[in-house]
Structure 1
Amino acid sequence: MRLVIARCQVDYTGALTAHLPLATRLLVVKADGSVLVHSDGGSYKPLNWMTPPCTLMESEPSEELREEGVRQVWTVRHAKSGDQLVVHLHEILHEHSEELGVDPGLVKDGVEAQLQKLLAEHVTTLGDGWSLVRREYMTAIGPVDLLCKDASGTTVAVEIKRRGGIDGVEQLTRYLELLNRDPHLAPVQGVFAAQVIKPQARVLAEDRGIRCVTLDYEALQGIDDAEARLF
């Protein structure tokens, strides 16, 4: 993990165009190759970012940029899409690097963990002929809740939440991007499962070809029905 606090300007070009004018920001470069740009507000979300697979190239500015006060240029290019995140650093105020090692992954809260356990035990609730490959299937950026096979033998990654928001869809999207690089698993489909799925998250998921499933916790426990079911 590399943390850089700097006065910088950031420009994103590709599928969309975005510009962040000169200001002091936190730049985060992770071991998986992702680069994130944070401000001191806006909660935990980065202002802009580039997800792997991507490469970071650091270079000296042109004479014209140097006259404008730029001291270093970061160019982050996505290997597949060709999108670019270009950071013009005017002043580096602080820089620190630290090896964090392998993260054990997020520990689920009681209900979410129980949902995962119940769905793993009754994976055919998602479809006839489904089978469980593994719970907490590890990827380079964290564990997928459930890795399954549907009736046709297609690999399916299932992300489980209590309340399904856009962040959960983004998380599953990143998992799918990594899993689909594995020729032994690809093609990998996605299922976003939650007790409540926010409308915006449902729209985003369906736009990305991810199936949404609303979970009934009590039904899965067998409290209100002898047979676990989904609504």
Structure 2
Amino acid sequence: MRLVIADCQVDYTGRLTAHLPWARRLIVVKADNSVSIHADDRAYKPLNWMSPPCTLSVREPRDDEAAATADIDRQLTAVWEVHSPTGDHLQILLGQIHLDTTHELGVDPGLQKDGVEAHLQELLAENPEVFGAGWSLVQREYMTPIGPVDLLCRNAEGVYVAVEIKRRGEIDGVEQLTRYLDLLNRDHLLGSHVDGVFAAQQIKPQARTLATDRGIACVTVDYDELRGMDHPEDRLF
């Protein structure tokens, strides 16, 4: 992992455009070539990023770029160009560099789910019809370049569906599933489109709103019912 703290300007073009004016920021380059730009707030969420697969190249500033930054009293030292196969482009203009260090972290064992969440995944893998009639499980922990999707299923129409499972459904879980779907929808072996389902025992309203906006279905699951502990015939109401 490479960590760079530098004065920088960042421009993103692709499905939309975004501009970050000059400021001192942290730039993280991971072993998978992903690049993310961070401010000194917002917890873990980057200001902008490029997910793998992508390529990073570094070049000397052109004369016109150096002249333009000189006009605003900035000394341009390097230009980073990050490209994805889909045509997305992230350009980072680097000024003064305050830190540039690289560390080898080794292989990470991955997130260990708590007992309830792990069991919930197991139960839903055994009962994919919870999501709809005619659903079937393709694989648990279906691997992508940035980590495993909890469940890869097929619905009654034969469309592949990526299912992310949480005990508490929050915005970061929707973001995680969004990144998985971005990669899965580039895999021609999975067909022309992969749908997404965000499943949890409780889903916060903000997470549900974000998921709906991104075309991701939300499913609230009853852990006790899945375990066979909740029998409707035993209820008073």
User: What's the TM-score once normalised by structure 2's chain length?
Assistant: 0.84
Aligned in 2, Cα 1:104/1:226: closer, same or farther, shift over 3 Å?
Answer: farther
Query: 2:50 & 2:168 partners in 1: Cα distance?
Result: 26
Counterpart selection for 2:216 from 202, 210, 215: 210
Q: Which residue of 2 aligns with 1:158?
A: 163
Deviation at 1:102, TM superposition (A): 4.3
Query: 1:69 & 1:179 partners in 2: Cα distance?
Result: 41
The number of equivalent residue pairs is 226
SS of the equivalent of 2:41 reads coil
In structure 2, give the amino acid aligned to 1:178. Answer: L
Deviation at 1:40, TM superposition (A): 2.2
User: What's the TM-score once normalised by structure 1's chain length?
Assistant: 0.86
1:54-203 superposed matches below 5 A: 54-66=54-66, 67=70, 68-80=74-86, 82-186=87-191, 187-203=193-209
Deviation at 1:222, TM superposition (A): 2.0
SS of the equivalent of 2:121 reads helix
The answer as to whether partners of 2:3 and 2:26 remain within 8 angstroms in 1 is yes
Query: 2:148 & 2:88 partners in 1: Cα distance?
Result: 27
Query: 2:182 & 2:108 partners in 1: Cα distance?
Result: 20
Deviation at 1:64, TM superposition (A): 4.2
Whether 2:54 is the aligned partner of 1:36: answer no
The answer as to whether partners of 2:201 and 2:223 remain within 8 angstroms in 1 is yes
Query: 2:36 & 2:83 partners in 1: Cα distance?
Result: 13
Extract structure 1 runs of 4+ deviating beyond 4 A.
none
The answer as to whether partners of 2:11 and 2:18 remain within 8 angstroms in 1 is yes
The answer as to whether partners of 1:105 and 1:143 remain within 8 angstroms in 2 is no
Query: 2:95 & 2:33 partners in 1: Cα distance?
Result: 23
Deviation at 1:164, TM superposition (A): 1.6
The answer as to whether partners of 1:135 and 1:145 remain within 8 angstroms in 2 is yes
When structure 1 is superposed on structure 2, of 10-19 and 125-134 the one drifting more is: 10-19
When structure 1 is superposed on structure 2, of 191-200 and 138-147 the one drifting more is: 191-200
Query: 1:127 & 1:69 partners in 2: Cα distance?
Result: 58
Q: Structure 2: which 5+ residue stretches go unaligned?
A: none
Encode CA deviations 1:166-225: one digit per residue, 9 max, x unaligned.
Answer: 221221122122223333323322111011222332233223322211111222222222
Query: 1:176 & 1:102 partners in 2: Cα distance?
Result: 24
The answer as to whether partners of 2:77 and 2:95 remain within 8 angstroms in 1 is yes
Deviation at 1:99, TM superposition (A): 4.0
Whether 2:30 is the aligned partner of 1:25: answer no
Q: Structure 1: which 5+ residue stretches go unaligned?
A: none
Deviation at 1:36, TM superposition (A): 0.2
RMSD: 2.2
The answer as to whether partners of 2:52 and 2:146 remain within 8 angstroms in 1 is no
Query: 2:19 & 2:143 partners in 1: Cα distance?
Result: 35
Query: 2:217 & 2:171 partners in 1: Cα distance?
Result: 14
